Structure 1
Amino acid sequence: MASSQVMAAQWEPLTAYTWIDGAAQVHEDYEKSVPQFFVPDVFSFATEGKDLRYGTVGMPVELWGPRRDEESEDDAAAKIGLVAGREAVEGVLNPGAVLDFLRFFTIYATDKKHRKIKIIARFRQFQPTNLIVERMLHGKVKQRLIWHIQGSGKSLLMVFTALKLRAMAALTNPTIRIVVDRIDLDTQITSTFHASDVPGLVSTESRAQLQSLLGQGARRIVITTIHKFGEISGVLDDRDNIIVMVDGAHRSQDGELRPQDAGVAAHRVPVRVDGTPINKRDRNTFMWFGSPEDQGGYLSRYSFQDSIRDGATLPLHFEPRLSEIHIDADAINTAFEELVTDKELSESDKSTLSIKAASIQVLIKAPTRIAKIATDIADHFRAKVEPSGFKATCRAYKEELDKHLGPDASTIVMSKSRGDSPSWARWTSGADELEQVLARFNDPDDPLKIIIVTAKLLTGFDAPILQCQ
């Protein structure tokens, strides 16, 4: 077993059987007994020769990350044993990588408890960042698609990428524009950059502010939503060192807003970081952002299976629940004809009513069906989830759930849109109210047990207490 603090004076073999034993000895013994030894530390690592993990000072052992190369084929067998261990050691501990970590991939952030913590990039952030920077410096291929699953740390990937791009002398102090398509994603990314103390950062509050920044040619990191480009026409800045990173922003593909509409010249095509790329005829992430020179159309991919393997995402286990819909066709036809006769409907009205009545939404929203599903949810929650001290989210049925669990056990979190009923206003909470709801949900002692979600909590939602969806 080998364990070490890189950039310290020496490494010392430990008496251990797995990397976990070595990492625990570093974290629980050395860091506490000789903290001054970790002042020059870039990162610590532990390996038994087959698996290598690394982390920063103060990082819990369960958060130490592996070093793996991206496989060129989706179905390529994972490397294991001494071969994988040797490649990990050579990849992490070579002088170039250590200096890269020291200069570009280590940040000091403030956590939710206002403590200063040291963060080091995972290799799923380290490798794509270097690929993006290399491609920017060579300037041959413009499109860049990073396809990483949700929850894999894309916000931090953008932090490290922005910092390294800004530090490249050849790019002459570039402007970095980070474009998202939702306000909650804007808030999440802005919070990540602010918590990481990234210099030269500005988050736009209005279209006027964005247009002013674009017109001035501000050499800063600008975070904004794609919607703020809607009323900006023409190219406001044609410098070559403008780099646009797009997180999601599917609206940029729907015909309303294209990547070229981001207030920059068309030759500055953005980097897209996405967890759910679209591959349709009229909306194609790979066509707009991927490069034909990249196998599969993406520069880097980190899949759901990769995330589970590395412990970044918990596996999902599905238990099918039978939702029966019984349709008495004869009775429906008889009632329909009686309604047509009674109301003296025209053929046009009859056709319109038939289409509306046959809608799947009418069937799935039938009161008897909702009551049965709510009963099943309540019974399953009481039997399988609540006894373990966990909580749950679901997508509908609050009124029926209240009959089983009480009104305080559940709440609704939903996004706001123009066609919403006025009665839904109390469920479309602002950022502060949503933060309070999530804090209550993560509190084991709070009576709130179930969040009913509609088009919300799509990103950056970390709830260890959540067991059932």
Structure 2
Amino acid sequence: MPAPTEHKTVQARILAYAQEVGWTLVLREEAEKRRDIGDSKLEIGKGSLFFDDLLDAKVREFNPRYAEAEGALLGKFRHLHADIYGNREFVEHIRNRGKFYDPDEKRERDLILIDYDDPGRNVYEVTEEWIFHNGQFGTREDVVFLINGIPVLVIECKNATKDEGIALGIDQIRRYHDETPELMVPQQLFTATDAIGFSYGVTWNTVRRNIFAWKKEDFEPQISQMDADEEDQKSNLRKSAKSAVESPLLGNLERMVKTFCAIPRVLAFLKDYIVFAEKDEELNKYILRQHQTGGVEKVVARALDPARKRGLVWHTQGSGKTFTMIKTAELLFRAPQADKPTILLMIDRNELEDQMLKNLAALGIGNLEHADRISTLNRLLKNDYRGIIVTMIHKFRDMPADINPRSNIYVLIDEAHRTTGGDLGNYLMAGLPNASFIGFTGTPVDKTAYGKGTFKTFGGEDDAGYLHKYSIAESIEDKTTLPLYYQLAPNEMLVPHETLDQEFLSLAEAEGVADIEELNKILERAVNLKNFLKGKQRVRDVAKSVAKHYRENVEPLGYKAFLVGVDREACAHYKKALDEFLPPEYSEVVYTGSNNDSKLLKEFHLDSKAERQIRKSFAKREQFPKILIVTEKLLTGYDAPVLYAMYLDKPMRDHTLLQAIARVNRPYENEAEEMVKPHGFVLDFVGIFDKLEKALAFDSAEINAIVKDIGLLKSLFAAKMADKVPGWLKLIVHHFNDKDVDGLIEHFRDKERRKEFFKEYKEIEMLYEIISPDAFLRPFIDDYTGISKIYEVVRKAYTKRVYVDRAFQKKTNELVQKHIGTSGIGEPGEVMKINEDTVEYIVNRKGGDATKVINLVKSIEKFAEENSDDPFLVAMAERARAVQEQFESRQTGTADALNQLLDEVERNEARKREQAGKGFDGLTYFVFSKIDEAGIQNAEGVSRKIREAFVEFPNWKRSENSLRELRQAVTFAIFAECEELDQVTALVEDLFRILEKGGTA
């Protein structure tokens, strides 16, 4: 039975499903003709990135006054920078914000490229094998979707039988950006699929944490701001897309393609849901995720519903709530039904105002005001300003009633559970009596009186209380945020139960408090509690414990930490105490200073520039500081994914506790260091987590999703060691001698078995790294060391990245190194010289054939790497890898695989003799051997001509023109002896594929 192919099982099916939801298939040959690539495909660099004729026709159809010469617009596009800035400029064009000059009226007009108002006027096409060559590198994209001749979406397809298929597809997308960035300027979206998974993201952002799994959804893709009278025009597009979610019989790939690639959904992504924003002075590109787009569309629909005026949106912290609010404001502002509205974005923190204003300005909204004073806000509302106003809730204090009675005023309130309580909320709602109020919150609404008030204010028009919800549990499942684990400090450091209970947990006024300033007022009255927390000896003991824990448990993992003091004075004392146990550069204090501060507090004042630099440096793994000491600042709104641990020494509860510990739950990945943050961690020096039922007044399901005792990790470690490890240890019967090594190589020859072992071991290793050092681990050390050595053998035998792989986490590595000297372990991975003595050496070498196969492959690879200017060796290494793949998949027996590799070594010795006899250099002989193998006449003469061509164009790897000329010279040299164009083309492609890998100049 034939094996499934990538094209048959994935690519062809995507094309079929795309046609069923409204895309027209353009066959590859027709697409290449329309791009002027030519039949022979020999003219490298020729060919457009667009369907030029269609794009030009649509531009003239949509812009009747457009009078520029044919090709002028395409020329402009070709001169865009091949980077994220050029891509941002192109987004402006496909959002119809580009300009053209109208000579009749002597003014600029908006240039329409895509008709979003009447989508039936656009042309939607899909094609495959989209080739492009910039003269240095070539690219072939699997499936490309085009609107009006503009490529906007690319899908990379992988066979479901391939290991890590989606990861390989995303790696290809990364390669396209690196090698052919010109191609990625107009393209906006990408997906990678193996027919099982379906991951998506935006071009120019291929960081793993910004690539998401598309989830099955029961929705009908919408186009934002849809007018009722447009329904007939769009109904055909909607029907085809809706069919994707109505039938339970649809397969996974079909459902994913028909929802993600539905025309209204793609249009919505292009028009509304791709965002550019600067972070740390660097431009970034993002795509709104499903929960964000769903929230935006729900809020816009509610705001435009004349019958309802309230709504509550809970999107858990770290899930992009700020972008959700910004996009909601923009779409409401642009909605025709809103009829020139006023939108108030109510922010609860000063630092968010700047971020909000910067991001809104980037959207190109002209009508944008910052009401930084009460008088400014009053003036804008009284004068009936139309546009977006960014302000803070306290600017409503003492506002006159009925200052603006219009109904098309939309108030979007951040952290609604804390900003509208008491008089401020009354001023706001009395001043704008007919406005719509939508509350946003990053934490679930609690079960206290505050929570009931929030639901009453915002959630009364929805049966479930929420207009839209993205819970903590959903966020963790989607890996938008990470789970949190906690551990209690030793009893002698914890606050006495009765003190904590009487002065904090049992106080009615502390329930449901969501503002950290209110929390601080409550703590000011907790005299005994604060005296205990700030006791001189205790501060020193806690600092010593923090330093030890950080050095042993956190720093080896490569992460950073917060130490949260009860107030600013505690922070200052902690800094002095920590400096006794850690180098001073390890920690910094960040709090707000005052002119009336004591000498101690003033010692740690920071100006705004220094604070900005500390924030920026802390977010970078390799820079100091490693620990920030804080009490209020940075506990809300500051995101540093490298932050892993929080040392909590400040009593908190409900929203303030959630907001604080959410600092450590941001995903972090560093591919170069093979770091993937497993979760966040809190070490509790107060005892709050010992009273979770009082500390978090939320539904139990939410509490369970938020935090878990680190004891669960110990239980998981013990369970895995009992369940998995004994079977692996049984494979070692000779104290790790060469027979054991050969047995391990044979046992883990099967890819699936090996993959499962690597996965399980890495989970066990991560648990060990997190828990260690701990007396709990003592009974497991011998077995853990044993499986670590097994992992080392198997990894060295089979990993593709032998020379850069990071074998172990730091603590495990130290453990293995400590024991490895006495183990008698014999490992694969011996690198031997490839010469005339290699065959005899291998034959006479002790050990099993499986180990010899692995060692010989690695030796050939290493030899080729060291002699990369010899293309014969580069090709030889390719053939050796193919032998290993057949060996691993059991298509070739061990003895046959070893013989094939020995044949390769002997073949290399024979070619060296023949090459010397003919007086050829490495390049000429390689070309000669390929041409001779192909059965083409006069192989020696052709290879000498090709060598001359390489001499004539020495800069072919750096110059597009040189490469084009060189390829033509090589092609015509072979073509002179062989007129089979397909054979010549295939041979030229194979030659350059090898030559581009090596160092041949």
Q: Does the TM-score normalized on the shorter chain lie above 0.5?
A: yes
Which residue of structure 2 aligns with residue 241 of structure 1?
408
| 2:578 equivalent among 401, 420, 429 | 401
Which residue of structure 2 aligns with residue 119 of structure 1?
286
Change (3 A) 1:212 1:327: closer
Output the amino acid matched with 1:66.
A
Output the amino acid matched with 2:204.
G
Deviation at 1:415, TM superposition (A): 4.9
| 1:363 equivalent among 532, 535, 544 | 532
> Secondary structure at 1:369's aligned position in 2?
helix
Question: Contact between 2:343 and 2:412, CA under 8 Å: does it hold in 1?
Answer: yes
Which residue of structure 2 aligns with residue 223 of structure 1?
390
* Comparing 5-14 and 131-140, the one that deviates more: 5-14
Deviation at 1:282, TM superposition (A): 4.4
Change (3 A) 1:9 1:41: closer
> Secondary structure at 1:237's aligned position in 2?
coil
| 1:58 equivalent among 192, 195, 204 | 204
| 2:157 equivalent among 14, 29, 35 | 14
TM-score by length of 2: 0.40
- Mapped to 2, the partners of 1:386 and 1:209 lie a distance apart of 49
Question: Contact between 2:547 and 2:582, CA under 8 Å: does it hold in 1?
Answer: yes
| 2:262 equivalent among 85, 91, 94 | 94
* Comparing 125-134 and 441-450, the one that deviates more: 441-450
Output the amino acid matched with 2:170.
A
CA RMSD of aligned residues (A): 3.4
* Comparing 185-194 and 5-14, the one that deviates more: 5-14
- Mapped to 2, the partners of 1:293 and 1:327 lie a distance apart of 42
- Mapped to 1, the partners of 2:426 and 2:494 lie a distance apart of 48
Deviation at 1:231, TM superposition (A): 2.9
- Mapped to 2, the partners of 1:66 and 1:279 lie a distance apart of 33
Change (3 A) 1:163 1:459: same
Which residue of structure 2 aligns with residue 153 of structure 1?
320
Decide which structure has greater helix share. Answer: 2
Unaligned runs of 5+ in 2: 1-9, 12-141, 220-248, 497-524, 566-573, 647-1001
Which residue of structure 2 aligns with residue 351 of structure 1?
none
Matches for 1:80-91 after TM superposition, within 5 Å: 85-91=253-259
Asked if 1:203 is matched to 2:370, the reply is: yes
Output the amino acid matched with 1:167.
R
- Mapped to 2, the partners of 1:83 and 1:403 lie a distance apart of 62
> Secondary structure at 1:60's aligned position in 2?
coil
> Secondary structure at 2:590's aligned position in 1?
strand
Matches for 1:130-149 after TM superposition, within 5 Å: 130-149=297-316
Question: Contact between 2:400 and 2:431, CA under 8 Å: does it hold in 1?
Answer: no
Deviation at 1:185, TM superposition (A): 2.8
Question: Contact between 2:591 and 2:632, CA under 8 Å: does it hold in 1?
Answer: yes
* Bigger-Rg structure (1/2): 2
Output the amino acid matched with 1:14.
C
Matches for 1:12-51 after TM superposition, within 5 Å: 14-16=157-159, 17=162, 18-29=165-176, 31-51=177-197
- Mapped to 2, the partners of 1:10 and 1:423 lie a distance apart of 58
Asked if 1:252 is matched to 2:419, the reply is: yes
Change (3 A) 1:84 1:178: farther
* Comparing 428-437 and 180-189, the one that deviates more: 428-437
Matches for 1:313-392 after TM superposition, within 5 Å: 313-324=481-492, 359-392=528-561
Change (3 A) 1:432 1:9: closer
* Comparing 251-260 and 302-311, the one that deviates more: 251-260
> Secondary structure at 1:173's aligned position in 2?
coil
Deviation at 1:146, TM superposition (A): 0.9
- Mapped to 2, the partners of 1:206 and 1:361 lie a distance apart of 36
> Secondary structure at 1:392's aligned position in 2?
strand
* Comparing 231-240 and 382-391, the one that deviates more: 382-391
Question: Contact between 1:175 and 1:220, CA under 8 Å: does it hold in 2?
Answer: yes
Which residue of structure 2 aligns with residue 311 of structure 1?
479
Which residue of structure 2 aligns with residue 77 of structure 1?
none
> Secondary structure at 1:109's aligned position in 2?
strand
Question: Contact between 1:50 and 1:83, CA under 8 Å: does it hold in 2?
Answer: no
Output the amino acid matched with 1:237.
N
Deviation at 1:37, TM superposition (A): 4.4
Output the amino acid matched with 1:54.
Y
Change (3 A) 1:415 1:146: farther
Output the amino acid matched with 2:548.
D
Deviation at 1:431, TM superposition (A): 4.9
1:93-145 C-alpha deviation (Å, 9 max, x unpaired): 11111111122222333443444x44322112111111111222233322111
- Mapped to 1, the partners of 2:526 and 2:480 lie a distance apart of 45
Change (3 A) 1:447 1:239: same
> Secondary structure at 1:119's aligned position in 2?
strand
- Mapped to 2, the partners of 1:98 and 1:200 lie a distance apart of 27
- Mapped to 2, the partners of 1:423 and 1:32 lie a distance apart of 52
Question: Contact between 2:397 and 2:424, CA under 8 Å: does it hold in 1?
Answer: yes
TM-score by length of 1: 0.81
Deviation at 1:308, TM superposition (A): 2.4
Output the amino acid matched with 1:324.
E
Deviation at 1:34, TM superposition (A): 4.8
Question: Contact between 1:151 and 1:312, CA under 8 Å: does it hold in 2?
Answer: yes
- Mapped to 1, the partners of 2:333 and 2:529 lie a distance apart of 52
- Mapped to 2, the partners of 1:357 and 1:246 lie a distance apart of 32
Output the amino acid matched with 2:274.
T
Question: Contact between 1:70 and 1:301, CA under 8 Å: does it hold in 2?
Answer: no
Asked if 1:463 is matched to 2:610, the reply is: no
Question: Contact between 1:4 and 1:45, CA under 8 Å: does it hold in 2?
Answer: no
Deviation at 1:156, TM superposition (A): 0.6
Output the amino acid matched with 1:393.
F
Change (3 A) 1:70 1:460: farther
- Mapped to 2, the partners of 1:379 and 1:364 lie a distance apart of 19
- Mapped to 2, the partners of 1:292 and 1:269 lie a distance apart of 12
Change (3 A) 1:196 1:462: farther
Q: Give the number of equivalent residue pairs.
A: 432
Deviation at 1:392, TM superposition (A): 1.2
> Secondary structure at 1:306's aligned position in 2?
helix
Which residue of structure 1 aligns with residue 39 of structure 2?
none
Question: Contact between 2:192 and 2:198, CA under 8 Å: does it hold in 1?
Answer: yes
- Mapped to 2, the partners of 1:50 and 1:442 lie a distance apart of 35
Change (3 A) 1:198 1:305: farther
Unaligned runs of 5+ in 1: 73-80, 329-355
| 1:413 equivalent among 590, 594, 599 | 590
- Mapped to 2, the partners of 1:10 and 1:292 lie a distance apart of 39
1:59-108 C-alpha deviation (Å, 9 max, x unpaired): 11512123336799xxxxxxxx9866544333221111111112222233
- Mapped to 1, the partners of 2:357 and 2:575 lie a distance apart of 33
Matches for 1:282-301 after TM superposition, within 5 Å: 282=450, 284-295=453-464, 297-301=465-469
Change (3 A) 1:265 1:371: same
Change (3 A) 1:158 1:432: farther
Output the amino acid matched with 2:311.
R
Question: Contact between 2:273 and 2:293, CA under 8 Å: does it hold in 1?
Answer: yes
Change (3 A) 1:285 1:40: same
Output the amino acid matched with 1:99.
L
Question: Contact between 1:54 and 1:64, CA under 8 Å: does it hold in 2?
Answer: yes
Question: Contact between 2:397 and 2:427, CA under 8 Å: does it hold in 1?
Answer: no
Output the amino acid matched with 2:360.
F
Output the amino acid matched with 1:128.
G
- Mapped to 2, the partners of 1:105 and 1:450 lie a distance apart of 36
